[in-house]
Amino acid sequence: MTHLFVYGTLKRGCKNHPHLAGQTYIGEARTGGGYQLYHLGEYPGMVTQASDTQGVTGEVWWVDDAALTHLDDFEGVAEGLYRRERVALLAPFDRLVVDTYLYARESGVRLIGTTWVEK
């Protein structure tokens, strides 16, 4: 089992949320500073941004190993689209070990800041 921070289309109410079916929602969360979101069209990509002080908002989920394997495939980890890494969250989740998906490619698209809102 793994705690997973999601910040885009996997969040509750978004189009790819069904990929978390059967997993346990823990709560809303925010990363510490050092991260921002790129707009990649129909989905965001979280990237490290040393100058950021606000972090990124999202949700923490408790996912089983089968779901994590599925999500790694869905997020394109093997293809190098995203990489799963540990991320530090603010309280009350600051003591949890949490993974997230960071965008792993160069981006020429615009930064959108701290929160993804699906339209």
Nearest to 82 by CA among 46, 29, 36, 118: 46
Helices and strands counted in the chain (H then E): 1, 8
Is 106 designated active site? no
∠ CA(22), CA(38), CA(69), 5° rounding? 30
Selected catalytic residue, list 75, 79, 85, 118: 75
Q: How far apart are CA 78 and CA 89, in angstroms?
A: 25
Q: Give the active site residues.
A: 75
